[in-house]
Amino acid sequence: MKSKAKKPHPTAALSMNLWKRLYDAALRVRQMEPWNWMEETELFGFQPAGAKEPAFVSVMGALGEHFAIGVYPSVAAMNRFWDMQRASQDYPRPEMLLEIPQIQVSFGPASELEPAEKRIAKTLGHKPRGAAAWPCFRSFRPGHAPWHIDPAEGALMLVAMEQVLERAPRLLEDCSDIPFEIGPDQPIPFRIQKDDVWEEVRRAFPYECFSLNVGVPANLMDAVNALPQKMMCLEVDLPILPTNLGKPGERPKLPYLLMVADAASEFILGSEMLTVESTMADFWGGIPQRILALLAKHQIRPATLAVKNHWMRQLLEPLGNSLGITIRMEQELPALAKILAFMTRRFC
């Protein structure tokens, strides 16, 4: 009986020539350390010849924690970046980073790389030394764990790093090119390639908020609205579990855990593991209906739903307004914290 051929590692999708160019550029970026004078929010854009959409670059590392070059491959992805930046630091939702399409090259210890990646570096003759010296190339797609870049992403990252290497030294000499106003709708430095020549302009990209495909059956809404209101508070959250789902060698999915519990008794009304099957808009748009179905199942119309970040508050406020339920922000959700700790021990 023939054994199955071993599936090639995802890094094999990129040619060694592309890997060489990526490593050469990444190590030059690491040596330059542009994060010493560039901020994460000082985005600039570029569009190679033939590209359908512009891409946007963020230089991370000014706080001395995560040294990386991030590339947001579309205007929509850039808008999600601004949504993340606008989020309150008092009620953070760090998982949002994983929901924004992007590619990154980060610089960390060798332990963050897989053996196949270390072999590539060794084959190319690179021996990075230091705690934040090894380039790690990763692709972020909504609903999935960070994964290895594909050839198209590698080509885009290469151009992005070349743009950083060209732009960063100029900013060190003359900071007048840094936009005075930083944020959505503000003009940013933008480079567009025509033939083999890069032209630099300033361009504003209209901000569009993330719209959801929310659909709640009217009969379900009416059924819950007809229930007598109880003076109780339910805690609601939807964190990402720190584990991966999927077959070895394939881009893994991230499981979300929808949790609803009574804040006073810590009784669990429901916990459901979910994954993103189509788009983030569809995924998040379906959450209000799932919560409403739980309320109908338990015949409860509470006075308050407690959430721990602004994203969940905005998601549930239309539901709350229709049902006379207050959506309240809390920095901690004690009942759900116990459930999450149990589920993490069990599945992660």
- Is residue 210, in this structure, part of any structural domain at all? no
Residue-by-residue pLDDT tens, the chain, 348 positions: 455 667 899 999 999 999 999 999 999 999 999 999 999 999 999 999 999 999 999 999 999 999 999 999 999 999 999 999 888 777 778 899 999 999 999 999 999 999 999 999 999 999 888 889 999 999 999 999 999 999 999 999 999 999 999 999 999 888 877 777 788 889 999 999 998 899 999 999 989 988 887 889 999 999 999 999 999 999 999 999 999 999 988 999 999 999 999 999 999 999 999 999 999 999 999 999 999 999 999 999 999 999 999 899 999 999 999 999 999 999 999 999 988 888 888 776
Separation CA 268–CA 237 (nearest Å): 12
Structural domains in the chain (count): 2
User: 273 and 182 in one domain?
Assistant: no
Task: Output the six-digit token pair for 265.
Answer: 């008794």
Give the tens place of pLDDT for each residue, 59-72. Answer: 999 999 999 999 99
**Residue keyed to tokens 């990402």:** 240
- Is residue 4, in this structure, part of any structural domain at all? no
User: 226 and 145 in one domain?
Assistant: no
For residue 153, the SS3 value is helix
User: 340 and 258 in one domain?
Assistant: yes
Angle, CA of 9, 11 and 17, to the nearest 5° = 135
**Residues 6 or more apart whose Cβ sits within 8 Å of residue 248:** none
User: 170 and 53 in one domain?
Assistant: yes
User: 313 and 172 in one domain?
Assistant: no
User: 170 and 48 in one domain?
Assistant: yes
User: 273 and 186 in one domain?
Assistant: no
User: 146 and 32 in one domain?
Assistant: yes
Its domain, for residue 45, covers 10-203
Separation CA 15–CA 97 (nearest Å): 29
Decide: 270 and 163 in contact? Cβ < 8 Å: no
279 alpha carbon, distance to own chain's centre: 13
Residue 221 confidence (pLDDT) = 96
Return the CATH number at 277.
3.30.420.10
Residue 174 confidence (pLDDT) = 82
Residue 131 confidence (pLDDT) = 82
**Of 203, 228, 252, which closes a domain?**
203
Decide: 253 and 240 in contact? Cβ < 8 Å: no
- Is residue 5, in this structure, part of any structural domain at all? no
- Is residue 224, in this structure, part of any structural domain at all? yes
User: 230 and 188 in one domain?
Assistant: no
Residue 182 confidence (pLDDT) = 84
User: 33 and 173 in one domain?
Assistant: yes
- Is residue 3, in this structure, part of any structural domain at all? no
Separation CA 248–CA 36 (nearest Å): 38
Separation CA 145–CA 148 (nearest Å): 10
Residue 213 confidence (pLDDT) = 77
User: 72 and 129 in one domain?
Assistant: yes
- Is residue 183, in this structure, part of any structural domain at all? yes
Cα dihedral across residues 341, 111, 6, 124: positive or negative = positive
- Is residue 109, in this structure, part of any structural domain at all? yes
User: 191 and 324 in one domain?
Assistant: no
Residue 4 confidence (pLDDT) = 65
